Structures are given as C-alpha cells and as structure tokens.
Amino acid sequence: MEHKYDSPRLPTFEECSEQERLHQERERLMEVTRELARMKKEMEEQRLKELYKPLVEKAREKIIRACQPDPQSWEQLKNILLESNPLFYIGVPAGSSLRHSICITSKGLYKLVQVLLKDQPRVQYKLAPMYIFDKPLDDFGLSLIKQLDNGDLEPYSLNAGGSILSRMFDSTWQMSGNTRDARRKFESVIRLIPGEYRNGSWRQLDGFFGVYYNPDTNTIQEEPPV
C-alpha cells in the first residue's frame, strides 16, 4: 500500500515579510534599551563625579597639610596619595609621619605601606588594598563615611570626643584603647558597604588591622600586602 504524506507548507511571502518586520522591531527595541542603559550609566557616573569633587578637594588639602612642616621630605608619599584621588584621608597629625596613611577612594580602602623591591636600594611605598567595594562608592556608602568623619554630632553619639576617623591614629602610631575602639567601629561601619577583601590568595585573619595570611606560601604579615 502506498502512503502519502502532506508536504510541509512553506510560509507565504506576506508571512515572511511579517516575521522579518517583527525581528527588526525586536532588534530596534533591544538597541534602544542598550542605549538607554548606557546613557543612564553615564549620567550616574557624572553625578558621582560631581558628588566626589568637594570630598577630593578636602582630602587633598588634608594630605598637603599633613606634609608640613617639611613638604620636601614627603614628596614621594604625597604624590602617591594624591594620585589615588582619595575621597577621605585618614592619618596621624601633621608633622608626624605621612607613612601611616589610609585613603578611601571610590573603589575601596587602601593603606600606604613600605615595599622592599629586589635590586632597589631605596624603600618604595605603595597603596595596598584593605577592602574593595563591589561598585563605585555611592550615596549610601558616602553617607556612612561622612558620619564617621563628623565630630559635631550629638554629645552622646558614637562620635563623642571627636570623629571616629580622627581617633583612629595618635601622633606616634601607637595603639591605645581609644584608637583600638575607633578602628573597631570604623571597620564595622565600612563593612556595611557591599564589598570584600580581594588580593590574590591573601586573606585577612582578623580584620583590616590584623594579620594577613597567604595559604599558598604559608606566609603571614602585619601590613596589608600590595
């Protein structure tokens, strides 16, 4: 017995034209969506730049002031700090030691550390990460850090006795109950900002100001590694 099968029906010219039109329309909508997302991102980046400007100016002034009364001696360290475009600068009082400095940038938290390089007679300085934000610092994070930098809050607030940022270091970089308490509060608040410590295999064993450990090399060090 001979079996007969219906041949598949080919789409008509009108149906092909309609499918092509719908495809082009979807492509156009996707392109418009991408363009809107790009414009929104650019507008947000520009808004943040304007938001950062007064903070960068204030931080730069603090760094330059910290170089006094001998700015020539601190030229290299000052340039490293300024080139990071810091939004907040945390350090010991002017004239003490610019070597003990922490910067908060739009990308994260960094500490100035000494680096010994092979075949280099002089000690070099670089900024080592302590905490990296998941995205550029925005209104939420800036609001938190500004509160840490505010020494004019109510007398019974967490900033009583000066801002937390100003109490993190004393003039000799020595730890005291006051500085230890300020650092603990500082880290608790900074960790509210989405992010993490990211630096290869290195890990923080007990926070920003604790020991750093590399399991690959079984190495520990007190300063944040570059």
pLDDT at 93: 60
43 or 100, greater pLDDT: 43
Confidence of residue 1 (pLDDT cuts 50, 70, 90): low
Pair 179, 169: CB distance under 8 Å: yes
Pair 132, 107: CB distance under 8 Å: yes
Quick check: bond before 69 cis, omega within 30?
A: yes
**18-27, 37-46, 69-78, 94-103 — which one is most confidently predicted on average?**
37-46
Lookup: tokens for 21: 């039109």
Residue 4 has pLDDT above 60, yes or no: no
Give me the residue spans of the domains in the chain.
17-221
- 156-187 pLDDT tens trace: 455 456 788 888 876 555 556 678 889 999 99
Distance between CA atoms of residues 126 and 115, nearest Å: 7
| Length of the chain as a residue count | 226
Q: 39-43, 136-140, 153-157, 172-176 — which is least confidently predicted?
A: 153-157
State whether residue 88 is helix, strand or coil.
Answer: strand
pLDDT at 172: 54
**2-6, 26-30, 103-107, 154-158 — which one is most confidently predicted on average?**
103-107
Quote the strand ranges of the chain, DSSP E.
88-91, 101-104, 108-115, 124-133, 195-196, 203-204, 212-214, 219-221
Distance between CA atoms of residues 203 and 221, nearest Å: 11
pLDDT at 159: 47
- 95-131 pLDDT tens trace: 556 777 899 999 999 998 888 777 766 778 889 999 9
Lookup: tokens for 99: 């070597």
Q: Taking every pair of C-alpha atoms in the chain, what is the biggest distance, in angstroms?
A: 108
pLDDT at 156: 46
pLDDT at 167: 85
Residues 6+ apart with CB under 8 A from 225: 128, 199, 202, 212, 214
152 or 43, greater pLDDT: 43
Q: 1-10, 70-79, 107-116, 123-132 — which is least confidently predicted?
A: 1-10
The average confidence (pLDDT) of the chain is 84
Confidence of residue 20 (pLDDT cuts 50, 70, 90): confident
State whether residue 62 is helix, strand or coil.
Answer: helix
